[in-house]
Structure 1
């Protein structure tokens, strides 16, 4: 009598860096507990993705495979349309990916490894539709905070009175498990135009959570968002499975030469002396903002590591600017790079401050590393994350808009200086680092969340649910 096949989880990601990273970390956690995991996305030239089609990696007691979405009407990996900032890639994937994904699921069965469960991250409702249509149990990995999930759920189901975009600073919304939030603290998609593709995709996600999704996995940890998680559970089957930071699962993907160069430079800096500046893989800043940023960093008098993507390099000031000269001269006080492994940099003892756009991955990585922040949110969930970092978690300060050199210098000093508030910010940052370590430890909320989800998958395979 043949043995039952190993439980097989198919992870499906939208082809966006901030979505790929946490889902891949989740996959390593699942594989380490004895599951077969296949990871898929539509890779393209702008995606940092180190595993080729067909690659396999043994992780703990299991294996993670990589099988790319390709063929059909999907764009080729080097198609420039993947860089369309208007959201065209989301429309394309929503239309072209479903038949390709369905065929991939069929191939798994034909190869003797039928898919037991599909886990798609947020903003990939097409994957949920395919899994539901093929009768495959499925979960969503929510890649933003539980607070943001709760806000969207309450807004789109009309469970709370939300202030309008034009509401004054005194108008707030009361959502169970959350502090009062003003209009400016809310995720941008709440008040985005109806025709905005990201809003349309979000609405499809929120609808699927109520109608078809069996589990809602959230990249958070119980210690961080306990009141929010408990308040949302009567509505959704929330399981915290975070923090999903690269490296925390002890199966990192390795580093390239550029990253090693960053670490070597950091090794030469004094402890907690470096201002680290990174605004994620999507945010575009203006030439004026870049100039003010450069001058502000120069004015701090501190060493800095500035990440400027290749598509923003032309915005850097010319070689005569003090900032650029400091970053490239023989006695450099700073360093400008196109990319680095952010979690690795934040965990380095030389980093004393993180100037961030407040994406959720960056927020979690800062908390896990115990690094104080200067917040500079732009859109999406970033304003909400900035509110929590500064006013709820107490680990940073807000940099006013527009970017101004003197304001940046003052904010950096507020979290890196020797004054009482800077000392308090660093102490609170250390507290959250300890809480994150507790979540990551054996028996912590991440361990429990992963175990609960694995147990549910094993029950499905055993035919007991």
Structure 2
């Protein structure tokens, strides 16, 4: 008896907003799905400045099935093309609002073209998973009759705040007024913690409109909401939100070797501006690592204060200063801080997860973006928290007041405050206790993503569902 034609492998299409902080977690989720045997295609409006790891597959837009093996599956990259999508080096991509409006307008046609191209190549898409802030991708998937999921790349705490506000499930303070709000599984949040979240943005604000579109019907039209967290870290918050929304923790979405606390040489570490070798020469837990993410722009006054503060600690430091900020750092201030690069090293970029995982790092001065927060916890590194906007104040509340793995510093940073907070974390009376608690979160994060761990369970359940869906078609 002749068997029927082989069924195509279940195929998940991932759609990211074109920001590095959105690309990284979704790609990492893609690698985990591929490692469990799925075919995964990642897409975004690829623009200059977006970094993809050397191991990520590239479909080259030719439908030829090129990709990177990942466990038993395959991960491919197919940039969005057509529909009038700007070229990667188009200068209009540099303005976040213009970029988002353009991708929202041009993305649907490009995505439809990509989905049809995959079907024509014998790789029909089984399911679409998109970042938050690309609601058009989920709309297109629905119009094409495809199952949908959303990846929330920030904390479950922030997702709960936004969801409760969008659906008017709690009384929030008025904009600019004192007050607080208490939500299930969260500490009481006062007005300062909530500012400047999108709940207080104008109804005409593009990002608020996209947030409302994402969360207004989530749970009904989007039955899977993946969250870049793990159950042990936000258990009470996850349980409280699950009364309203089908949240699935799948984090921390870090590089596998970052999550395992390794910092070995690899292709991804080759272009590290000598960071690994420099760290190798420093004693364990001696280095102050300073990084404020890709969107925080320190002004000239703060840059000078950070340089002076780092110099005054007398400790070795690794400081990420983006190229567009480097001109604000005077040669004299740099020389005084670094002592001819022996004590300090300043780089324009580094693989942050790998740096945090290095045993020489003893303290992380951070803006508390969620990627940085998750990486610090997964690496077991105590923090000096200097939050600026968005979710950063809430993240710092958890790091400092709930998990007690760091101290809070003012923003903008001043030299004396920086020196005092670094000393508190690295040599103060509570330093050893902070380090022990941080080490405990490192172990919990590693356990969550191992086979059978809480986050691995969520990923595996999704894979099983997608295989079932694929078998019906």
- Per-residue deviation, 1:328: 6.8
Please, which of 269, 289, 292 is the counterpart of residue 276 of structure 1?
289
- Alignment pair present for 1:181 and 2:189: yes
- Give the structure 2 partner of residue 32 of structure 1: 35
Distance 1:60 1:245 in 2: 17
- Alignment pair present for 1:393 and 2:406: no
Distance 2:37 2:469 in 1: 15
3-state secondary structure, aligned to 1:44: coil
- Per-residue deviation, 1:72: 2.4
* Matched-pair contact (CA < 8 Å) for 1:22–1:246: no
Q: Structure 1, residues 138-189: CA drift from partner, whole Å, max 9, x if none?
A: 1001101111101100011110011123233xx2201111111111112621
Distance 1:319 1:227 in 2: 49
- Alignment pair present for 1:320 and 2:323: no
3-state secondary structure, aligned to 1:195: coil
- Alignment pair present for 1:141 and 2:121: no
- Give the structure 1 partner of residue 136 of structure 2: 126
- Per-residue deviation, 1:432: 1.0
* Matched-pair contact (CA < 8 Å) for 1:258–1:339: no
* Matched-pair contact (CA < 8 Å) for 1:326–1:332: no
- Give the structure 2 partner of residue 364 of structure 1: 374
* Matched-pair contact (CA < 8 Å) for 1:43–1:49: no
- Give the structure 2 partner of residue 20 of structure 1: 23
Please, which of 261, 268, 272 is the counterpart of residue 274 of structure 2?
261
Distance 1:36 1:10 in 2: 9
* Matched-pair contact (CA < 8 Å) for 1:46–1:83: no
- Per-residue deviation, 1:455: 1.1
Structural mapping, 1:221-300, within 5 Å: 221-248=230-257, 254-259=267-272, 261-300=274-313
Unaligned runs of 5+ in 1: none
- Alignment pair present for 1:449 and 2:451: no
Distance 1:185 1:71 in 2: 42
Unaligned runs of 5+ in 2: 61-65
Please, which of 68, 72, 81 is the counterpart of residue 57 of structure 1?
68
- Alignment pair present for 1:46 and 2:49: yes
- Alignment pair present for 1:91 and 2:101: yes
- Alignment pair present for 1:354 and 2:364: yes
- Give the structure 2 partner of residue 70 of structure 1: 81
Distance 2:26 2:217 in 1: 19
Distance 2:451 2:8 in 1: 28
Structural mapping, 1:324-343, within 5 Å: 324-327=335-338, 329=340, 332-343=342-353
3-state secondary structure, aligned to 1:136: coil
TM-score (structure 2 length as normaliser): 0.93
Q: Structure 1, residues 281-315: CA drift from partner, whole Å, max 9, x if none?
A: 11112111111111111111111101011122222
- Per-residue deviation, 1:350: 0.4
> C-alpha root-mean-square deviation of aligned residues, in Å?
1.8
* Matched-pair contact (CA < 8 Å) for 1:9–1:117: yes
Q: Structure 1, residues 102-130: CA drift from partner, whole Å, max 9, x if none?
A: 11001111111110000101111111111
- Per-residue deviation, 1:327: 3.0
Distance 2:148 2:210 in 1: 18
- Alignment pair present for 1:104 and 2:117: no
- Per-residue deviation, 1:193: 2.4
* Matched-pair contact (CA < 8 Å) for 1:128–1:208: no
- Per-residue deviation, 1:434: 1.6
TM-score (structure 1 length as normaliser): 0.95
* Matched-pair contact (CA < 8 Å) for 1:21–1:246: no
3-state secondary structure, aligned to 1:42: coil
* Matched-pair contact (CA < 8 Å) for 2:149–2:225: yes
- Give the structure 2 partner of residue 462 of structure 1: 471
| C-alpha distance 405-326 of structure 1, shift in aligned 2 (>3 A) | closer
Distance 2:59 2:408 in 1: 42
Structural mapping, 1:194-209, within 5 Å: 194-209=203-218
- Per-residue deviation, 1:260: 6.0
3-state secondary structure, aligned to 1:437: helix
Q: Larger deviation: 246-255 or 223-232?
A: 246-255
Q: Structure 1, residues 63-96: CA drift from partner, whole Å, max 9, x if none?
A: 11111112321111001121115x2211111111
- Give the structure 1 partner of residue 322 of structure 2: 309
